[in-house]
Amino acid sequence: MPWISKAALHTRRPCQDAPNHFLNGGATIEQLPLSALIGPADIIDVPDSTNVTADALRALDVPADATRLLFRTLNTRRRLMEVTPFASDYVGLDASAARWLAKERPGVVLVGIDYVSIGMLEDIVEAHKELFRKGTVVVEGLDLSAAPTGRHHLTCLPLLLVGSDGAPGRCILQTNSQGASK
């Protein structure tokens, strides 16, 4: 069973953002629903030349019954989580992708990505806000390099930091070959 995360708080290691990181009055880390952090998760490979936009999502094979999506992008192939300087050209979601998920995949309760922010730099605030307004849990900084594409079982738990806008976490992916439900 591969570990797909290490630990940190809004840094270069996987963490969960809480809605109050971007929304005034939003939920804090201990108010995130644990049910969103445990369950089936689909690893989606994003083509190298694109950010995650609504158009990109339409072109990808995002399962209609998806509940948790983990985006493996060029960030993984560039090994950005292992590089010390911040890479401003990282791949992330824009607000149109967050709106597409809310409309076309309303069952998605968690979205994760393989770099320090779910939102692309040029749209970082609005991408986060769109996800948080829908109640989507955000997990950032995932190491998806060894995980196979497809549906697996995710357990991703934040450190309990009462009142915090984020927390380091441990994420474990149980792959189908290890008995995860399909």
- Per-residue model confidence as pLDDT tens digits over 12-56: 455 677 777 776 887 788 888 999 999 999 999 999 878 999 999
| CA–CA separation, 77 and 116 (whole Å) | 15
- The pTM of this model reads 0.86
Give, for 167, the enclosing helix (H) or strand (E). strand 166-174
CB 143 within 8 A of CB 149: no
Residues present in the chain in total: 182
For 112, other C-beta atoms within 10 Å of its C-beta total 26
Give the residue carrying structure tokens 């950010």.
51
Please choose, from the candidates 174, 180, 166, the residue with its C-alpha nearest in 3D space to the C-alpha of residue 14: 166
CB 170 within 8 A of CB 3: yes
pLDDT of residue 13: 53
pLDDT of residue 20: 73
Q: Is 141 left (phi over 0), alpha (psi -120 to 50) or beta?
A: left
Where in the chain are the domains?
22-161+169-175
Provide the residue-wise pLDDT of the chain in tens; the chain has 182 residues: 444 444 344 444 556 777 777 768 877 888 889 999 999 999 999 998 789 999 999 999 899 999 999 999 999 999 998 887 889 999 999 999 999 999 999 999 999 999 999 999 999 889 999 998 999 999 999 999 999 999 999 999 888 888 888 888 889 999 876 444 44
For the chain, give the longest Cα–Cα distance: 42
Which of 21, 128, 152, 153 is catalytic? The answer is 21
Residue 21 known to be catalytic: yes
Domain boundaries 22-161+169-175, CATH class: alpha beta
DSSP state of 87: -
| CA–CA separation, 78 and 144 (whole Å) | 12
Tokens (6 digits) for 24: 């005034």
